[in-house]
Amino acid sequence: MPFSIGIVGLGRMAQAILLPLLERGDFKPDQVLGVVGQKESIQRVKEQLPSGVNVFASDDSLAAEVWSAPVKLLAIKPQQLDLIERTFKQIRPIRSSTSSILISLLAGVKLDRLEKIFPKYCCVRAVPNTPFLVGAGLTGLSCMDGITSDQKLSVEKLFKPMSEVLDLPEDQLDAFLALTSSGPAYIALIAEALADGAVAAGLPRSLANYLAHRTLFGTSLLLKEKELHPGQLKDLVASPGGTTISAVRCLEKAGVRSAFIEAVIAAAERSRQLA
């Protein structure tokens, strides 16, 4: 049967993209074909998706139909791309065309490589981040030359239910990934450290965790809504000889600011290496 969307790799991010599309009725479950690496994963994945979604192991003959869907989402690890390339060459889909869209979530894998592997498809790179899971995501898109406005709109429609979508030149995607995709891990470290500090200062753990999360949320909202530069907000809070400036002094001595700068640069560099 013809499928409307095919997904190679059904991890958390692929599921986070798919579920809102099914809930909105953009696709019916039986129009979706998902491919997983092992037969043992099929039942677990099906339990996390609406009834009717088709899921096959990669070595199942029916899995080849994923390449004939008009929209394909490639959501595997970058290290698995060589295997996918070999499989694709063996299959040689007969219903592929330049109107067929392939969206890659693979970190660091450039459009020119995707175009060489999948020459008959319109290739797009997408970089979503994990706040996508709660409808607060950011997604960077970079498209191959020649994509039509209708094709671009159809790609954006897949991500807009759960994220803000930014159209970016490809050479900015590594930095975008380093800040937005890796960034939630940096923020999680901050939340954990702040809560640990509050526990050390005498607060119970549950309250410390709650206050750390609320402080991060409220501060982010304040910066956004008031359009404040972070330095402005710091100066608003730090009074002369007060508690905040004493804490900021400790952070500066520890090189926290420099550490975050270097972390973003390291993540961007690693993304380029994965290419």
Domain co-membership, 252 together with 203: yes
pLDDT digit string (tens) for 183-227? 999 999 999 999 999 999 999 999 999 999 999 999 999 999 999
Domain co-membership, 249 together with 226: yes
**Do the strands 137-143 and 5-8 form a parallel or antiparallel pair, or are they unpaired?**
unpaired
Quote the number of domains for the chain: 2
Global pTM?
A: 0.89
How far apart (Å, rounded) are the C-alpha atoms in residues 90 and 16?
30
Whether 95 has a pLDDT exceeding 60, the answer reads: no
The CATH number of whichever domain residue 247 belongs to comes to: 1.10.3730.10
Domain co-membership, 146 together with 200: no
**Crossing angle between the packed helical segments 183-200 and 256-274, to the nearest 10 degrees:** 150
Domain interval for residue 262 = 181-274
pLDDT digit string (tens) for 27-42? 999 999 999 988 888 9
Q: How confident is the model at residue 93 (pLDDT cuts 50, 70, 90)?
A: low
54 versus 87: the higher-pLDDT residue is 54
Domain boundary among 130, 146, 169: 169
How far apart (Å, rounded) are the C-alpha atoms in residues 194 and 189?
9
Q: What count of residues does the chain have? A: 275
pLDDT digit string (tens) for 225-261? 999 999 999 999 999 999 999 999 999 999 999 999 9
Domain-located, residue 202: yes
SS3 143: strand
Domain-located, residue 175: no
* Per-residue model confidence (pLDDT) at position 240: 96
Domain-located, residue 176: no
How far apart (Å, rounded) are the C-alpha atoms in residues 188 and 186?
5
Domain boundary among 134, 169, 204: 169
* Contacts (Cβ under 8 Å, ≥6 apart) of 52: 28, 29, 30
